[in-house]
Amino acid sequence: MTISRRKFLKTVSASCLAVTAHSAVGHGFELPGRMSPGPQELKARRWGMVVDMRRCDGRCTEDCIGVCHEIHNVPYIPKAEHQVMWLFQEPYENTFPDRSHELISKHLKNRIFLLLCNHCDDPPCVRACPTQATFKRENDGIVMIDYHRCIGCRFCMAACPYGSRSFNFRDPRPYIKTIHPEFPTRRKGVVEKCNFCQERLEVGKMPACVETCKKGALVFGDLEDPSSEIRRILAETPHVRRKPQLGTRPSVFYIF
């Protein structure tokens, strides 16, 4: 049996059209891979956080860390050098190594601080990334990672002056106690970090750590909105950011 070139092309193009039309109808003409946030989405021009250490005694930080790591499927890797951390703790001297000296006041010495990605306004990790797998969202300033694009070169880890980024040195899945299917797990060989609970903001919820903290030590809000609670606190209370001399303009502020 012979098929003419014309007939072949006709059949092929007709079937292609049929398949395309079917998938277009099936998906309501949406672009693949796009998800639109719900109507109750929390919006801001630049999200930021205040960690009020007057209210945080470092005793229950395990709660906020625990919840964060649980809902985001962050593995618990026993070996400290390979740990994955979104929300973590460091003493004052290590949180602010450039401010530490031998005469620090009692109430700062050995105090445990809560650390997370600073979601810098000028993030060096985003500059470093060779694939734009890590990027800053223009609409709300959240620094995110596309786990499907990251090649695991770790240039962002070298560029981040805050130690906020973790590399999956091994397969994380066996180290997750219970996998929460609402949030994607990661695989070995990619970098990850705090995402300011972008997936919760989309459905109108505050970040998990903010919600968990019963002492009101974590305040989350829009840094660009002069009438926001976070702006009021920043205007009224002396505060610091980590390593301000590097020009990264962190969006996380600390009050002692």
> Which of 144, 213 has the CB closer to other proteins?
144
Q: Which range binds other proteins by CB under 8 A, 7-15, 31-39, 81-89, 173-181?
A: 81-89
> Which of 136, 200 has the CB closer to other proteins?
136
Interactions with other proteins, residue window 163-202 (CB under 8 A): 163, 166-171, 188-191
> Are 252 and 119 in contact, with CB atoms under 8 Å apart?
yes
Instruction: Tell me which residue of 97, 110, 111 sits closest to 54, measured CA to CA.
Output: 111
Q: Which of 107, 149, 180, 214: binder of other proteins (CB under 8 A)?
A: 149
Closest separation between CB of residue 165 and other proteins, Å? Answer: 8
Q: Which of 89, 100, 198, 228: binder of other proteins (CB under 8 A)?
A: 100
> Which of 135, 183 has the CB closer to other proteins?
135
Three-state DSSP class for residue 232: helix
Q: Which of 38, 39, 130, 226: binder of other proteins (CB under 8 A)?
A: 130
Q: Which range binds other proteins by CB under 8 A, 12-20, 211-219, 222-230, 240-248?
A: 240-248
Three-state DSSP class for residue 154: coil
> Are 89 and 69 in contact, with CB atoms under 8 Å apart?
no
Q: Which of 49, 53, 64, 160: binder of other proteins (CB under 8 A)?
A: 160
Long-range contacts of 23-26 (CB under 8 A, 24+ apart): none
Encoded tokens for 37: 């946030």
Size of the site for other proteins (CB under 8 A): 47
User: Does 114 contact other proteins by CB under 8 A?
Assistant: no
Q: What is the DSSP string of 37-82?
A: PPTT----SSEEEEEETTT--SSSHHHHHHHHHHHTT----SSGGG
> Which of 46, 242 has the CB closer to other proteins?
242
Q: Which of 117, 133, 143, 210: binder of other proteins (CB under 8 A)?
A: 133
Encoded tokens for 108: 């700062």
Closest separation between CB of residue 127 and other proteins, Å? Answer: 5
Cβ-based burial of 147 (10 A; exposed 0-12, middle 13-18, buried ≥19): middle
User: Does 37 contact other proteins by CB under 8 A?
Assistant: no
The alpha carbon of 30 is separated from its chain's Cα centroid by a whole number of angstroms, namely 26
The alpha carbon of 72 is separated from its chain's Cα centroid by a whole number of angstroms, namely 10
Closest separation between CB of residue 233 and other proteins, Å? Answer: 26
> Are 116 and 161 in contact, with CB atoms under 8 Å apart?
no
Chain residues binding other proteins by CB under 8 A are 79, 81-83, 90, 93-95, 97-98, 100, 124, 127-133, 149-155, 157-163, 166-171, 188-191, 243, 246-248
